[in-house]
Structure 1
């Protein structure tokens, strides 16, 4: 398995579908066809599922999937920190990690946005894979949520999760226990997993 290629492809496929989406999808599919593996087959299955969806329709689906549910957010620290002071510290640590490896995000980008984390993992495989593994509870919970939502994006998460070393949590409950381990004493606001409700107010990559 070519992990950097899987991470880079997943980063692109989890990006917001803009005017460049058709060309990007074609490029990803062509590249994946040269790197056969169970993980790239999952990514290719996602490509097939969305290839005939008009870009504007897919963009609307993307917003419904990721921007209107806290349980399906692409911001990884939300799963472990919720809306707490601890999350600010987690974001700062991520920025410092990226900077230490010579990579700067745009000012509008939060460092825990999954496509950004995956792109970092593709460019800096050692620290990037460690970072993804550290956020395994979030990836598992997001994957379970996308499966429950019957979203084609679930295949992208399956591919990413299969690149991680060691055993995965047995089920959503086990992943949730991992995500909630060691809650911050100074927490304020929402718990990491509030009841399903209206859209969260975090920005997303556009």
Structure 2
């Protein structure tokens, strides 16, 4: 297992007391990861320290405000690819099938494209497949890092580290286009309720789904979606 990817999956998960208790081991794994530069390992330290020592309820409130109340910071990757289009359901089905082919059965209520779930899956996959998949998402990682850095959030370092592990350079044009999209205000709950109203994603049979590799389903990530009119509110 790729322990670093497993640790990144945990770092991007909803904070719990159990996660706090595991932070010494997680921090040790990250600090010893030779695929990351020394500077990158140092940049990850503030997040490790924050999760380790901050009040759990403050951590949870911060996490929800960042990732659950902001569509532009969503950890569901297909949100940044397909938005509300019908293609999203088919992509979900294909991703589930890919997990099953790999013998991976995530024990979670999260959607299959949830980044911590994908990282846990990738932690069991060959290095080449891991790098290809991360590279396909490189510009999304760059955008999420930039948005988190604007908010002075230590979570941004995880996305910078994923970029480094991918060995890829994010497409500047795609990054700039995505960063032009207005960001959600997590304090405007009425607007957020409207933004998150969308068609239900279902996982029924899809004759066109097939069982491609994860990287094939993420290949369209270099084409940012055009947000629905109400998504910019």
3-state secondary structure, aligned to 1:155: helix
Cα distance in 1 for partners of 2:2, 2:150 equals 28
Distance 1:107 1:10, change over 3 A: closer
Aligned length in residues: 189
- Flag structure 2 segments of 5+ consecutive residues without an equivalent: 181-219
Cα distance in 1 for partners of 2:23, 2:88 equals 33
Aligned to 1:194: 231
Cα distance in 2 for partners of 1:193, 1:143 equals 24
Cα distance in 2 for partners of 1:105, 1:67 equals 20
3-state secondary structure, aligned to 2:166: coil
TM-fit CA distance, 1:175: 5.6
User: Where do residues 155-174 of structure 1 align in structure 2 (5 Å cutoff)?
Assistant: 155-170=157-172, 172-173=175-176
Residue pair 1:94, 1:111 contacting (<8 A) in 2 also:
yes
TM-score between the two structures when normalised by the length of structure 1? 0.79
Higher relative CO (Cα under 8 Å, sequence separation at least 6) belongs to: 1
Q: Does 1:41 align with 2:78?
A: no
- Flag structure 1 segments of 5+ consecutive residues without an equivalent: 198-206
- After superposition, the CA RMSD in angstroms is 2.9
Mean Cα deviation higher: 133-142 or 36-45: 36-45
TM-score between the two structures when normalised by the length of structure 2? 0.70
Per-residue displacement from partner, 1:78-123 (whole Å, max 9, x unpaired)? 0010011111111111111111111012362211101111111111
Higher Cα Rg: structure 1 or 2?
2
Aligned to 1:97: 98
Q: 2:16 aligns with which of 15, 18, 21?
A: 18
